[in-house]
Amino acid sequence: MALQDKYKELIDAATNAGVANLQVREQEGVLYIDGDTSGTTKQQLWDIYGKLDPDYSGGDLMLNINSIAGVSEGAKLKVTTNRTNLNIRKGPSTEDTVVGKAARHEIVTLVKKENDQWWYIQTKDGEEGYSYTQYLTPVE
Amino acid sequence: MRTKALQVMLLCTSLFLLATALPSCKGKIKDADISTAINEKIKTMTDMSGLTAAVKDGVVTLTGECKDEACKTVCETAVKAIAGVKSVVNNCTIAPPPAPVVVVPEANVDALTKAINDAVKDFPGVKTALNDGVLTLTGEVAKDKLQKLMMGLNALKAMGLKKIESAGLTKK
């Protein structure tokens, strides 16, 4: 219960934002918060987490908020890398060779979801391959 | 005179009938009445809901599922308190404990290790060690990139990552 008090602001925000499939559970000293929401809400929740634990180093929370569950095939995605181009790979792993690049802020199309980490995408120039979902933001 | 004698006889007969009939009715409570009383309790007591009772000659056999041993005792005591119950055969079973809730799925270590490597690829100073579902981060990371790193790693909970220990990671 103590952890739910520590992260009360976060849990309340997730509840109030209407995060879908929201689950808040505590096990072996770790609080697990799972749910599906938009990219904007995910960012807000992470900012609250960063306020409560500025270094994210408490080791007592796993904030598994998925902002990509509701994205369907054919959706337009914006490349949201920090600075660099986004690698497009032959397979769903960083061990697979790079077969193309998408520029930062370029709009690409989701072809198929491999898993939550890797999506098969297509650029407007017709380049195709797997990219890391963390750097892809659905165009809302 | 005749009518008087008849009246006295009638009175005696009815007195005799009363005297013999009443105790037999009062002393022995019918199984059906016990059943009614038990069913009333089953309806009103939460501990007894879902149970069934068979009554024969004042002996009650309870069957059904109780949530625990204490609940089983409470039900037996409640039935014993009903007038006319001679004894209780408590055949209630105890419900098995609910299966533990799976919070974190079982990890496929190879797949999880690969996913961790993918997630930290763009953070070259970060070192990882995975042990029994717990990821320990060491090395260093720029403070403004920390949130992005943690977002990527926290999502791996869906693949079986239980915990992230990052106290040993230098944030500069």
A80 plus A132 within the same structural domain: yes
Complex confidence, ipTM: 0.85
Q: Is there a domain that residue A31 lies in?
A: yes
**Integer Cα distance of A101 and B164 in angstroms:** 31
How does residue B2 score in pLDDT terms, banded at 50, 70 and 90?
A: low
A31 plus A56 within the same structural domain: yes
Taking the Cβ of residue A96 and every Cβ of chain B, the question of whether any pair is shorter than 8 Å is answered with no
| Tokens (6 digits) for B16 | 């005799």
| Tokens (6 digits) for B97 | 């404990």
A8 plus A59 within the same structural domain: yes
**Integer Cα distance of A64 and B159 in angstroms:** 11
Which domains can be identified in chain B, with CATH numbers? 28-98 (3.30.1340.30), 109-171 (3.30.1340.30)
Pairing of strands B134-141, B93-94: unpaired
Burial code (b: 16+ CB inside 10 Å, e: under 16) for A87-113 equals bbbeebbbeeeeebbbeeebebebeeb
Contacts of residue B155 in chain A, CB cutoff 8 Å?
64, 66, 116-117, 134
Torsion angle defined by CA atoms of residues B16, B22, B28 and B29, in that order, rounded to the nearest 10 degrees: 160
Per-residue pLDDT reduced to its tens digit, A35-55 = 999 888 999 999 999 999 999
* CA-based nearest residue in chain B for residue A32: B103
Pairing of strands A61-66, A30-36: parallel
How does residue B8 score in pLDDT terms, banded at 50, 70 and 90?
A: confident
pLDDT at A140: 66
Of A42, A35, A32, nearest in space to A20 by CA? A35
CATH assignment at residue A89 = 2.30.30.40
* CA-based nearest residue in chain B for residue A65: B155
Contact between B89 and B55 (Cβ < 8 Å): no
Domain that residue A31 falls in: 2-66
A77 CB contacts (<8 Å, ≥6 apart)?
A71, A107, A108, A109, A110, A119, A121, A136, A137, A138, A139
A53 plus A99 within the same structural domain: no
Taking the Cβ of residue A27 and every Cβ of chain B, the question of whether any pair is shorter than 8 Å is answered with yes
Residues lower than pLDDT 50 in chain A: none
Per-residue pLDDT reduced to its tens digit, B31-72 = 999 999 999 999 998 888 889 999 999 999 999 999 889 999
The percentage of residues in chain A with a pLDDT greater than 90, rounded to a whole number, is 79
